[in-house]
Amino acid sequence: MKTAAIIGGGVIGGGWAARFLLNGWDVRVFDPDPEAERKIGEVLGNARRSLPGLGNVALPPEGTLTFHGTVAEAVTGAEWIQESVPERLDMKQRVYGEIQAHCAPDAVIGSSTSGFKPSELQAGRDNPGQIVVTHPFNPVYLLPLIELVTTPANTQGVIDRAKEIISSVGMYPLHLKKEIDAHVADRFLEAVWREALWLVKDGIATTEEIDNAIRYGFGIRWAQMGLFETYRVAGGEAGMKHFMAQFGPALKWPWTKLMDVPEFTDELVDLIAGQSDDQSGHMSIRELERARDDNLVGMMRALGANDFGAGALQNAHDLTLETEAGLSRGMDGVDVTQPILTQSRVVPLDWTDYNGHMNEARYLEAYSQATDRLMIIIGCDADYIANGGSYFTAESHVRYLDEAHAGDAIEVKTTVIQGGGKKMHLWHEMFVGDRLVSTGETMLLHVDLKTRKTSAPAPHIETNLVKIAEAHAALDAPEGLGRGVGAPR
């Protein structure tokens, strides 16, 4: 079994422990903090909740986590040793002395340091070549970037082994072959941080306004396209040279407190434009734009699922659009003599599959959302659910009658077939314009969330549901109601 030792079990060390453990490694931890086991356990709980769902393939069986009273016990037999002690050079060098007195000579020792150069960490060590900087980002168990910084003391074998292990646990080793204080990513963060402090100090913007400028704007682009590729797209069809020619002179203007910039020469423009061509020249500007847009939609929808950042902004906007779309949040204004509009939206980019149309599972998701809307209309809303009552789906049957594509405007109209007692029997029809593309039949049961058993709904819920069911009973029976799989139409 592969074994990693974690020296220092704070937020970063705990994240490293989780990353290795959930990828099948045995993990040994040393931390003198008497609360270390509890703290790492809490970090690990979050990692177990989130990391397995990050990909589409099951993770290997979890390794074994053990805690040790000495550095010697923790590092003996480990092939990877991650140091995450406080940012004090004297402390780190003392720790390396103890590690190297007991670890295997071919073990890789990585440091989580955000500021010290590897040469500073290696100074005075008998085996400096096994020490490298492997700077992560929090949360380590989710964010994949590792800044791997080396010196000439590190052999190619050590570097290759470090890259191999980092990659094996789903992370990306960004190998910096030339050391510099604070590496690369934190230098960007420091520049933005300094400018943000000036903006706050000078009364230009509040901390919230600065955060909003990032999370509603360029931060989302950076998250999936970085800096240079973002600016390449901004240059349009003319590319990076055009962008730099247009905006490069602004580097000399007094926009920021950070005015120490390289001289804007033709050679620098050619260097950056050439590197940009190497990076992204295999794609046209339209292809880059489509990739950018798809990524932005996916990320913002993910943020919306957690009602956070730019996603929360979109959720708030959706609420303002509901009335215009004809969607209701109560019985007032609902025409119960007709099937009720419970969904009105556009098919998102990430709802389509390799056949170029809406994935079969997304129809069920749309019907689930339509059911949620019907529940809200009858009064089974967030407050009601918080007080212990809800409906659980017992059975569903979806028919796929025609195609829906990304960008299609879809509507779902819902008929209540049965609403008395514990049962709620719904019939959903999905339309693209006047075209019926699918039907979904769903049987739900009212449940007491405390006992997790079926129960009678609150009187006002049943009254509203029965009112709709009785009105809908006057409609023609839907074609396909009660149909089993494979039965003729």
H or E element at residue 287: helix 285-305
Beta strands, E only, 305-354: 340-346
The pair phi, psi for residue 144, each rounded to 5°, is: -90, -15
User: Which residues of the chain does CATH 3.40.50.720 include?
Assistant: 3-176
Omega of the bond leading into 152 within 30 degrees of 0 (cis) = no
For residue 374, how many C-alpha atoms fall within 13 Å in the half-sphere facing its CB?
Answer: 32
Please give the Cα distance from 305 to 371 (Å, whole number): 17
Please give the Cα distance from 419 to 472 (Å, whole number): 11
User: Which residues of the chain does CATH 3.10.129.10 include?
Assistant: 326-472
Residue 263 has pLDDT above 80, yes or no: no
Mean pLDDT of 8-29: 95
Query: Which tokens sit at 392?
Result: 């659980």
- Percentage of the chain lying above the pLDDT 90 cut: 61
At the topology level, CATH places domain 326-472 in Thiol Ester Dehydrase; Chain A (3.10.129)
Q: Which CATH class is domain 3-176?
A: alpha beta
Question: What one-letter code names the amino acid at 453?
Answer: K
Q: How far is CA 308 from CA 300, 305, 360, in A?
A: 9, 8, 28
> Mind giving me the DSSP string for 113-136?
-SS--HHHHHTT-SSGGGEEEEE-
Angle value at C-alpha 382, between 378 and 384, nearest 5 degrees: 65
Please give the Cα distance from 157 to 461 (Å, whole number): 68
Please give the Cα distance from 366 to 348 (Å, whole number): 11
Residue 259 has pLDDT above 60, yes or no: no
Please give the Cα distance from 290 to 388 (Å, whole number): 44
Round to the nearest angstrom and report the end-to-end CA distance of the chain. Answer: 57
Band (pLDDT 50/70/90 cuts) for residue 486 is confident
Please give the Cα distance from 65 to 215 (Å, whole number): 36
Determine the pLDDT at residue 489.
Answer: 65
Q: Are 226 and 233 in contact (CB under 8 A)?
A: no
Q: Are 27 and 21 in contact (CB under 8 A)?
A: yes
Please give the Cα distance from 1 to 26 (Å, whole number): 7
Sign of the dihedral through C-alpha 216, 217, 219, 222 = positive
Annotated binding residues, written as ranges, equal 8-13
Determine the pLDDT at residue 54.
Answer: 75
Residue 362 has pLDDT above 90, yes or no: yes
**How confident is the model over 48-84, as pLDDT tens digits?**
888 888 776 778 889 999 999 999 999 999 999 999 9
Determine the pLDDT at residue 152.
Answer: 96
pTM above 0.85, yes or no: no
H or E element at residue 463: helix 459-472
Determine the pLDDT at residue 452.
Answer: 97
Average pLDDT, the chain: 90
Look at 230 and 109; give whichever has higher pLDDT. 109
CA 284 to chain CA mean position, Å:
27
Find the DSSP H helices in 23-138: 36-50, 71-75, 89-100, 118-122
Determine the pLDDT at residue 242.
Answer: 82
Please give the Cα distance from 398 to 358 (Å, whole number): 13
CA dihedral 164, 170, 144, 278 (to 10 degrees): 60
Angle value at C-alpha 192, between 189 and 195, nearest 5 degrees: 145
CA dihedral 444, 325, 386, 452 (to 10 degrees): 10
Beta-carbon contacts of residue 335 (< 8 Å; ≥ 6 apart)? none
Please give the Cα distance from 151 to 162 (Å, whole number): 13
For residue 302, how many C-alpha atoms fall within 13 Å in the half-sphere facing its CB?
Answer: 10
Determine the pLDDT at residue 279.
Answer: 78
**How confident is the model over 112-147, as pLDDT tens digits?**
999 899 999 999 998 999 999 999 998 999 889 999
Look at 349 and 374; give whichever has higher pLDDT. 374
CA 331 to chain CA mean position, Å:
36
Q: Are 174 and 144 in contact (CB under 8 A)?
A: no
Residue 274 has pLDDT above 60, yes or no: yes
Band (pLDDT 50/70/90 cuts) for residue 378 is very high
**How confident is the model over 385-444, as pLDDT tens digits?**
999 999 999 999 999 999 999 889 899 999 999 998 999 999 999 999 999 999 999 999
Annotated binding residues for NAD(+), written as ranges, equal 8-13
Find the DSSP H helices in 202-284: 207-213, 219-225, 228-234, 239-247, 266-280
Question: Residue 293, class by beta-carbon neighbours within 10 Å (0-12 exposed, 13-18 middle, 19+ buried)?
Answer: exposed
Q: Which residue has the tokens 């970037």?
A: 145
